[in-house]
A and B are shown apart, each in its own frame.
Chain A
Amino acid sequence: MNPESPVQPPARHGLMRDLRRLLVYSGKRLLALFLTVLVGVYLTIVVANMGGEVDELRMVQIRSEAAEMVRANPDFQDMPSEERNRLIQRQVELEVERLRLDEPFMLRSIDYLRQAISLDLGRAEQMHSDRGSREVYDIIVERLPATLLLFGTANLLVFFVSVFMALSLSRHYGSLLDRCVIALAPSSAAPGWFYGIFLILLFAFVFPLLPASGMVAAPPPEGTWAYTLSVLRHMLLPLAAMFVSQLFVSIYSWRTFFLIHSSEDYVEMARAKGLPVGLIERRYILRPTLAPIITSFLLMLVGLWSGAIILEQVFNWPGLGSLLFQAIGHRDTPVIIGSVVIFAYLLALTVFLLDILYALLDPRIRIEGGER
């Protein structure tokens, strides 16, 4: 632990030193993560702008929109064409100035980056929220509940069901149920949307029991209860699709994981001592495997943020995934960058949290000034 001093230092000093190391380590990690986020977000900005080429498209769009506006307005009908052209030109210039398209892209990209990193998400170019707000923040916040509701429920369900199933399967290793799960594990090769199509076909068209798409019935039912019920009915199919596509492989991998850990010598030792099964599971299997379990739990929570583009498209679910898809279709870079930057921050935060948690949970990962 401490190669320099062979003599055991007093506990208080040791604590101070550990704290200092922890601080230095955290600082280094934070800096590294921040740089990572910076580079990742900048890359996204460049890709989302096609390295500046989107500007050309935008210019064409602005010009045609300005011309259309002037032409459609009856007030300008009997204006001489020269004056009208000047009006169009002025409109275009105003818009160019508003979007700062007259500055070189490199300069603007740095500026975008500064704004994105300071979480100043700005205003959308084309899109607006259902309430009519142009703020990227409002647009994203409006879509967030739908994504959290659907993906939160599905992922939590899959996570807990698979961990507990896996624990019980690893206890009854080789049983019929165990073999069934192993046989079903390859079914997860297909993604959720794929099962979604089958489920829609089966339960919305062949047996019309559940709605095929959307989040609530149109028009939305009056009253909280009726509304909740409608949302639940709409949630059932996408939930089932995700559950089916992820459950078996998840159980399979956790089961293998627990099996590997329950064949360790110290577990055999505990069994030989005659300790009760529950105690062995809690103290000898779950305790040392807590770190990976928490890791995957946290990463799953972060994964919620991006939603799932295709599943949301297939089920017409108004979440973040379809928001991102629409934003890309509209070339609305502020919205794209906004959702990527939040994802990046959440991921970085999670990784940082995991670093600290690992140090607390796993005594083997000792802080030795950083990399190991």
Chain B
Amino acid sequence: MTISITNITKSFGNSKALDNISVDFTAGELTALLGPSGCGKTTLLRLVAGLEQADPGCGGRIIFNGQNVLADTAGKRKVGFVFQHYALFRHMTVFDNIAFGLRVRKKSQRPTKAEIKERVYSLLELVQLGNMADRMPSELSGGQRQRVALARALAIEPEVLLLDEPFGALDAKVRTELRRWLRQLHDKLNCTSIFVTHDQEEALEVADRVIVMNKGRIEQIGSPDEIFHQPASEFVMQFLGEVNVFHGRIESDDPQMVHFYDQTGQTDQPNARMLIRPHDLDISTEPDTDKRQIPATITKIQTAGPSVRLDCRDNNGKIVNVRISHDIFNRLQLFIGQNIFLTPKQLQIYRSGQK
């Protein structure tokens, strides 16, 4: 099912949770809505589900396969919704929870008891909880509860699956397992899925497409690769991982001419910011002719982890984070207090006043 959203605005009181949003979701894709808390991502998801109503008079439309569903209730839209805190019916067994969506149907559309039983058990197999049908939700772990919630949402055979921070309440290890599993499940189901997350790693790993949101607006839409390597704005770059920010001055329109770094440490009237990821800095112990080179002193070395993390202090007294491989670290034989030179391999420049 293709979902097309045009010109949707949603306010709570005086603040705009969504500000004139237009976006399309391609059929069969798994899309991540990524952003900090309060950016409107959950509101957008709830609007698609019909749990929230767009501002009257915003003139927006929500179209499922060519049909405007803006006026339809949540039940009518037939979407599967998974809540962050599971929202399982705690007075019902796992079986009854999953069967709920089938049992509340009108008599004419309701499957027979045997059909319901068959469907529930096949869903339990799908979410790998085959022997848990008679348990109460309180007897399950967090990861198991979320899988029951997913099975319950899938029972009504939705063409759209919406997940609101589905792994937010789980611990780190379960979270990684479950998100890989969700990706496999999505490929098996062939429905249009949208999930909300504030965890960039989760979005980049699982999604076909990532929509980065900030303050009720969309910052960038793209594949995980595009989002990570070609951030459309400073916000996206900052949000998608650690960055070092340097203030400098652009003296002409050619970014190569940027005189960002000045050995004396002072740049007059900075008019631009240079953003460099910690792993995009090359380290050398000798200066060379590259104008962009940043001299610094190592203040802290952390070798535990997949790469070595260095805290360096530049001439302005600013801390610069650098990540290098263990191989390079061993070859250079770095030590605390050593003077080094950092060369950016890749950087993004944003002028002041630009986003």
Q: Please say whether chains A and B are actual partners in one complex.
A: no
Which residues of B pack against A, CB within 8 Å? none
